Chains A and B, each alone.
Chain A
Amino acid sequence: MDIKILGSGCTKCQTLERLTHDAVDQLGLDATFEKVTDPAEIASWGVMATPALVIDDTVVVSGRVPSADDVRKLLTAR
């Protein structure tokens, strides 16, 4: 599973990163993490409002921080 967090460093992005790490640990998943901070790359994903979560090259959340529950559901759904 390939996970990317898109965000330029504001607190929301850090929260999303933390939530996702926690969820991956809790679920015992095998995942690679990447934090994308370059705005050009973020925009190329079609994301204009950070933070955003990308799982296996699909943008699953953008523009807000999902709840821990949501993150777990999104991870198990893939």
Chain B
Amino acid sequence: MSASTVLGDAPTRSPLRRWSLLASAAVIWFTLYQLNLRWWNWVVFDWVGLGRDTRVGGSVHFFFYDLTKIALLLTGVIFVVTVLRSFMSVERTRALLGGKREGVGNVAAAGLGVVTPFCSCSAVPAFIGFVAAGVPLGVTLSFLIASPLVNEVAIVLLFGLFGWKVTALYIVGGMVIAIVAGAVLGRLRLERWVEPFVFETRLRGVLIDPSAGLSWDDRLLMGREEVGSILRKIWPYLLAGIGLGAAIHGWLPADWFAEHATGWWGVPLAVAIGVPLYSNAAGVLPLVDALHDKGLPMGTVLAFMMSVVALSTPEMILLRRVLKPKLIATYFGVVAVSILGIGFLFNLVI
């Protein structure tokens, strides 16, 4: 019996009721988003009376304004993206990538890495599943790199903070990194540095595609649940990131970075600091916003963000089950160098 016929908790609604509920939620969301700045201006500067140009006033205002804005953006985007992604699955992606060679495969893998719902805890079974199904190693790695790097939370927050141009650059940059790094790693013929059992895994059982057979009510419910689940997971990081961002906003003189951090070593330093930091995009972006505000060049900023998000120690530890240390180190190195490249490039171009 297929699981898709027994979903119980999604309320079955008439289409009219479902879509009008959704439309009203969207209207409320837009209203809150537009009124956000004016509201906090009034609360912090008029009602409580903090000075607009004081350090405390600036920080407090930034903290609450940014928190509301990011919470709204996250809620909206996670919901929409989860609903859209419910049409995709890792199983379908594997089927799509199965026959592809290197080159084309890397591009397809990077693209699919962006749109496929994927959690890093599944990185190891997904890796094994891909390789056992005959997806080339480099193509699999392109998928694994693109997924955390170009994630919807990062994209939305970038858009909210810096506008669509920076966001587009980030997406393109991230995909280029995934494609190039995956292709390079594939070319190096590093299969010998994959734990042997991976190639010996035989797939059995009936393959379930979780994206098949879902109703609209199911998809909308998944969207709501994912918003709750992600917010519950990241809120400490979010508060920490915004708090740190608020402090920088209030206390560092404007253009501090422009005065102290010009020079070619900015990008490598940013990557070096970013690598050991573990956070998700939500925690790092408010920080990134404040840094940029104080004059840190956009290329350096994006390089920092990418190295925090794409090179995460917990994921490396997980991948140790399937990749030998040499491959992990090479993976790390190639991705880090690619990020450096993108950072320098963006600093020149933007």
| CB of B19 to closest CB in A, whole Å | 23
Answer whether A70 and B197 are a contact pair too, CB < 8 Å, given A43-B129, A48-B90, A59-B208: no
Cβ contact within 8 Å between B128 and A40: yes
* Residue A69 CB within 8 A of the other chain: yes
| CB of B224 to closest CB in A, whole Å | 13
Cβ contact within 8 Å between A49 and B6: no
Interface residues of B in 86-138 (CB under 8 A from A): 89-91, 94, 117-119, 121-122, 124-126, 128-130, 132
Cβ contact within 8 Å between A10 and B204: no
Instruction: Give the residue of B9, B118, B207, B222 whose beta carbon is less than 8 angstroms from that of A46.
Output: B207
* Residue A74 CB within 8 A of the other chain: yes
Interface residues of B in 1-28 (CB under 8 A from A): 1, 3, 6-9
Contacts of A10 in B (CB 8 A): 119, 121
* Alpha-carbon separation in the docked complex, A60 to B95 (Å): 20
| CB of B124 to closest CB in A, whole Å | 4
Closest residue of chain B to A54, judged by CB?
B205
Closest residue of chain A to B221, judged by CB?
A67
Q: How large is the interface on B (under 10, 10 to 19, 20 to 34, 35 or more residues)?
A: 35 or more
Contacts of A45 in B (CB 8 A): 204-205
| CB of B251 to closest CB in A, whole Å | 36
* Residue B198 CB within 8 A of the other chain: yes
Q: How large is the interface on A (under 10, 10 to 19, 20 to 34, 35 or more residues)?
A: 20 to 34
Contacts of A57 in B (CB 8 A): 205
Closest residue of chain A to B202, judged by CB?
A44
* Residue B313 CB within 8 A of the other chain: no
Cβ contact within 8 Å between A69 and B205: no
Cβ contact within 8 Å between A39 and B204: no
Cβ contact within 8 Å between A77 and B6: yes
Contacts of A59 in B (CB 8 A): 205-208
| CB of B81 to closest CB in A, whole Å | 15
Cβ contact within 8 Å between B9 and A49: no
Closest residue of chain A to B321, judged by CB?
A39
* Residue B210 CB within 8 A of the other chain: yes
* Residue A20 CB within 8 A of the other chain: no
Contacts of A9 in B (CB 8 A): 121
Selected A-B contacts with CB under 8 Å, 5 pairs: A9-B121, A46-B204, A48-B91, A50-B121, A61-B3
Since A48-B94, A59-B208 are in contact, a sample of 19 more A-B pairs with Cβ atoms closer than 8 Å, ordered by chain A residue number, is A8-B121, A8-B124, A9-B121, A12-B119, A39-B124, A44-B201, A44-B203, A45-B204, A47-B129, A48-B130, A49-B117, A59-B207, A61-B210, A62-B208, A63-B90, A66-B7, A67-B9, A69-B8, A74-B3
Top 7 nearest A-B pairs (CB, nearest first) are A69-B8, A43-B128, A67-B9, A39-B124, A48-B129, A63-B210, A10-B121
Residues in B lying within 8 Å of A, measured CB to CB? 1, 3, 6-9, 89-91, 94, 117-119, 121-122, 124-126, 128-130, 132, 197-198, 201-208, 210, 222, 318, 321-322
